[in-house]
Amino acid sequence: MNSVVEMTSERNVTVKTTQPLIALYCGSRSGNKPIYREKAIELAQGIADQGFGIVYGGASIGLMGQVADSVLEHQSEVVGVIPEFMLDYEVAHSKLTELHVVQTMHERKALMAERASAFVALPGGLGTFEEILEIATWGQLNQHQKPMILYNINGFYNALIAQLDHAVQEGFLPPQHRAKLIVCNCIEEIYTTIKNLNMPSRFVV
């Protein structure tokens, strides 16, 4: 696959993909336990085998690079979106179907959300937490109806899940909005969700 590298604005997006895309939010590090890398690669391979591509943060390092490599190796499409200033911190992947270099984090998240048919958060740090919670907030505000999944590898998200449930109990998070953030402990649950995708064609931001 030939990578398309370009400065991109929200009004100027060159689309080269033909597959529906799953947004993967994940770390620019691989974590301290092999299971995180192993399960991320397994998920990426399975997404490709199901006929989907991915849209992700565009880096070649950590879990981000590993899921991109795995999808490409299985002959599916990968779209990367990375802010220009982050090129100093994360090495952009050079072999993607599309690589969009944008100006801001907001542009990155908006473009990923526009292109995605569903969202899956793998283990990661502050950026991963922020991305999946922001997309859940947009869902609460009726800006999209796309599936949102926490892939709870090795119980990584147990504490966040407990916090979300606590927010419901304390009256700050309506139960119906908490329910939209699906917790999956195994890959088969994710496949079941994405096989039944039914969402509007355009994301409203």
- pLDDT tens-digit series, residues 65-121: 999 999 999 999 999 999 999 888 778 998 999 999 999 999 999 999 999 999 999
DSSP 125: S
Q: What is the signed CA dihedral for 88, 14, 142, 176, rounded to 10 degrees?
A: -70
**Half-sphere exposure of residue 84: CA atoms within 13 angstroms, side-chain side:** 7
The CATH T-level fold of domain 20-195 is: Rossmann fold (3.40.50)
Overall pTM surpassing 0.75 (yes/no) = yes
